[in-house]
Amino acid sequence: MPAPLLLPDTGLDPGWPEYADSVRAALLGGALGDALGSLARSDGRRPPAPSHGAESPRGRRETGDATTVLRISGSTQLTLYTLDALQEVVEWANQGHAADETACLWLAYLRWLRARGGPHPAEAPRPLPRPIDEQEALHTAREPDDTALEALRTGRMGEVERPLLPEAKGCGTVPRSVPYGLLPHVGWRTLAPLAINGAAVTHGHPEAQTAAAVQGFVVHAAVRARREGVERPVAAAVAAARETAGNLTRPVAETLERLGDAVRAAEQETLDPEDLTRLLGAGRSAPEALAIGLCAALAAEAGDPHGRDPQTVFRRAVALATGHDGAAAGAVAGAVTGAALGTAALPPEWTARLDARDAVAGTADRWLREVGAPSAA
C-alpha cells in the first residue's frame, strides 16, 4: 500500500534529489501557464486543447511565433512575492527568531504594490526592500488582481476574523498559493492555516481561502508523489488533496464539489475548453479556477499515464487550461504538472521566451539556499 501523500505533521525534505527540481518546475510551470493564458486572452484567441496526440500546428501558432515574448501577469508576480515572504520567515527562524507569517506576507504584497509604481497606503508600514524588488519583470503593471489591489490600497491587513472584502471570492488566491505547497518540514495541519490566512490578506470569502489551501495541498502531494514514484502523480495528488480537505474546519463544500466535478470531467475521452465552461464554470471564482486547472492537468496526464513524454503532457495541460480563457487556471495546471513531473516537462522553447525567467529562477535559487537544499550538480 503506497504511503500517504499528505501527512498531518510530516512534510517535504529539501534534501530529496527531486525537491529542488520540483520547486523550480512548479514556479516556472505556473509562470508559463500564466503567461500563455494572458497571451491567449490579450489576443482574443483560444488555443486548442487536444486530449490525445501531439500538439497541432494551430496550437503552436496560438503560443505566438518563436520571437513572441511570454509575459507574466500579476498572478505570477504575487506568487513570487509569496515565496519571498515565506523565505523571510525561514530567515528569521534560521536566526533563532519567530516571525508572523501573515504579517510578512502582507508586507511583501505592499512591496509588490510599491514596485508597480502605485502610491503607498498612508496607514500601512513601509517595509524595507529585499532582493526580489530589483527584478524588473515584477515591476510592470500587467493584468493585476483587482481584488488584491483594492484590499492592499486600504492600508490594512485582511484577516479571517476581520475580512476587508467579505464577499471577495476571485481566482487570485489560488495560483499565488503554490509556494505553501513547497514548504519543507511541515504537514498539512500547518500548511492549511498558512495558506488560508495568506489568502485572507486580500480575499474575505471562506471558499477563496479554502481553495488556496487545497492548491497548496495538491502541490505538496505532487512533489511527494514524484518522490515516491507514483505512476500518475497528478491524479494521486488531487485524490490526496480532496481527502485532506474534508478535514478542514471551515466552509469547504463548494471547493470540494468543484473538485469532484473536475475529476469526473477529466475522465471523458474527449475534452475541450467549451466542456470546461459547461461543467466547471467560467473560472472567475477561486473554486472554479482551481477545478479547471486541475481538470486540465488530470486530462493531460490521462493521455500519457506512464509519463513517457512529459513535455507533451505539460503542453496539453496548459493548452486546455488556457483555452478556457483563464490565466489563473493555466497557472494552476502548469504549477501542478511541473511539481509532479519536474523541469524535464517544461518545453525549453517556451521557457526561453518567458520574460520573468530570470526572476523566477533567482527567487527559486534564493529559497533553495535558505531551506538547505543541495546545490545543483
Cα separation of 131 and 138, whole Å?
Answer: 12
Residue 343's nearest CA partner among 223, 186, 218, 239 is 223
**What is the per-residue pLDDT across 161-174, written as a single tens digit (0 to 9) for each?**
999 999 999 999 99
- Which DSSP state fits 243? H
CATH topology for 18-42+70-371 is ADP-ribosylglycohydrolase fold (1.10.4080)
In this prediction, the residues of the chain whose per-residue pLDDT falls under 70 are 1-2, 42-64, 324-325, 376-377
Alpha-carbon 206 to chain mean position: 18
**Residues 224, 73: Cα–Cα separation, whole Å:** 28
Cα 207 to Cα 75, 120, 167, 289: the distances in Å are 18, 29, 10, 12
Q: What is the pLDDT of residue 246?
A: 92
Q: Which residues pair with 12 in a beta bridge?
A: 184
One-letter amino acid for residue 359 of the chain: A
For the chain, domain boundaries: 18-42+70-371
Lookup: cell for 376: 545543483
Tell me the pTM: 0.93
Instruction: Name residues whose C-beta falls within 8 Å of residue 149's C-beta, 6 or more positions apart in sequence.
Output: 113, 118
- CA-CA distance, 85 to 64, in Å (whole number)? 33
331-347 residue pLDDT tens:
999 999 999 999 999 99
